[in-house]
Amino acid sequence: MERWVKDFDSWAVCDACCGNLFDKTAIAFRKALEWSKRDEEFVKRAGFVMMADLAIHDKSAKDDVFVRMFPSIMRGASDDRKFVKKAVNWALRQIGKRNKKLNASAIKAAVEIRKTGSSSARWIADWTMRKKRVLIC
């Protein structure tokens, strides 16, 4: 996984590997948090894409593993790079769609992200809350 992630150079390759392979591994949650702290654009994106994919695909995961992702999402929200901020937004929305408890936490996180003042943070918070995208369907 480490060798592959270092070679990512497009969002399509990143998202396909994370959503069709990496999120099915035993170390997926650990890598999501680890990669979300890295500086390389597509490695960082991979961390947040993994968070989104795990929220979608891992039906047996407990809420606490997703709650532990919120600090990374909060940090990542200030990254102005398009491919990172879109993945941060995606992770926040997908975690919020899992259940009512995580939904409330995601809304709270979006409100806090909005307060940070960076342009990417405002975009993430606004996009998350617009048309109730974070709310459970």
Confidence of residue 109 (pLDDT cuts 50, 70, 90): very high
- How many domains, the chain? 1
Amino acid at site 100: K
Residue 21 falls inside a structural domain? yes
pLDDT at site 137: 40
Residue 106 falls inside a structural domain? yes
Residue 137 falls inside a structural domain? no
| Whether the predicted model's global pTM rises above the 0.85 cut | yes
Residue 17 falls inside a structural domain? yes
SS3 at position 46:
helix
Segment 36-48 shows an average pLDDT of 98
Q: Which domain holds residue 26?
A: 2-132
pLDDT at site 57: 96
Give me the CATH number covering residue 14: 1.25.40
